Amino acid sequence: MTDIKLNHLAIVVDDIDAALRFWRESLGLTQAGAVKSIPAEAVDIAFLELGDAHIELIQPTTAEGGVAKYLAKRGPGLHHLCLEVPDLDATLNELRARGCELINETPRQGDGRRYAFIHPKSASGVLLELYESI
Amino acid sequence: MTDIKLNHLAIVVDDIDAALRFWRESLGLTQAGAVKSIPAEAVDIAFLELGDAHIELIQPTTAEGGVAKYLAKRGPGLHHLCLEVPDLDATLNELRARGCELINETPRQGDGRRYAFIHPKSASGVLLELYESI
């Protein structure tokens, strides 16, 4: 066992209300909080509880931006995986030393979290977000 | 809170050894068991521990089969999500009543598990596998 745990699994959708009807009403997951607009990223997001982790639904609100382009190109579906690691700097240093491609060379900060994205090229095609455990 | 929990998250890869080098050696996840060949499905699989759930790595071993075609079309990456539900028949009945498209109309059985797949059309583009909790 390691101290690495799932924080969230993100799904890009074209209609967050329809998505909530499926995941919450039809399947029975519990929604955590209300749908939240993030104008700076041009997305609406919602979270569903999954044990002590979450499923994050992301709907682009404009045709621009990375998520909108992803949706236009690949359609709705699984978008990224976010794992928590105990020491983000140590993990990034280890990944860098092993030749992995990091999207964020140094941790970024948001909502009280230190995080960094790893490029899908180095992570089996998965857009991998790493959070530092708090 | 509901009784729905993550069982595994599957990633399709073109080289399971390279994928294990990333997820196990570089990132530090613990591998659960050895790489296993499933000739009937023409795949090799490996599991990594993620709390009490797993990441499943799937590598097609021939150019035929659903996973190989998925890999050829979309490249490596997140492939399906498997959640555990307490009563699979009740969940499938509820989904059917709400007009969801089921890949398996009745539960299948394998490795001591009852399971069914839900079509991505009805699940935000996600290939969703449901296990019955044991």
Chain B touched by A48 (CB under 8 Å): no
| Chain A nearest-CA residue for B17 | A124
* pLDDT interval class at B1 (50, 70, 90): low
**The pLDDT of residue A1:** 57
**The pLDDT of residue B111:** 83
At residue A111, does pLDDT exceed 90?
no
Kindly report the nearest CA distance between residue B3 and chain A, in angstroms. Answer: 8
Q: What is the pLDDT of residues B74-83, one digit of tens each?
A: 999 999 999 9
Structure tokens, A64: 């621009």
Mean pLDDT of A37-44: 94
- Best residue in B26, B44, B87 to probe A by mutation, most A CBs within 10 Å? B26
Chain A touched by B19 (CB under 8 Å): yes
**The pLDDT of residue A2:** 77
At residue B8, does pLDDT exceed 90?
yes
In the numeric block, the tokens 């307490």 are attached to: B86
- For A90-126, strand residue ranges (E) read 108-110, 113-118
Between CA B90 and CA A28 the distance in angstroms is: 11
Indicate the pTM of the whole model. Answer: 0.96
- For chain A, strand residue ranges (E) read 5-12, 31-38, 43-50, 53-60, 77-85, 108-110, 113-118, 127-132
Cross-strand pairs, A53: A50
Query: Do the beta carbons of residue B41 and residue B56 sit within 8 Å?
Result: no
* pLDDT interval class at B132 (50, 70, 90): very high
Q: Report CA B94 to chain centroid distance, whole Å.
A: 22
- Taking an 8 Å cut-off on Cβ atoms, the answer to whether B22 and A49 are in contact is no
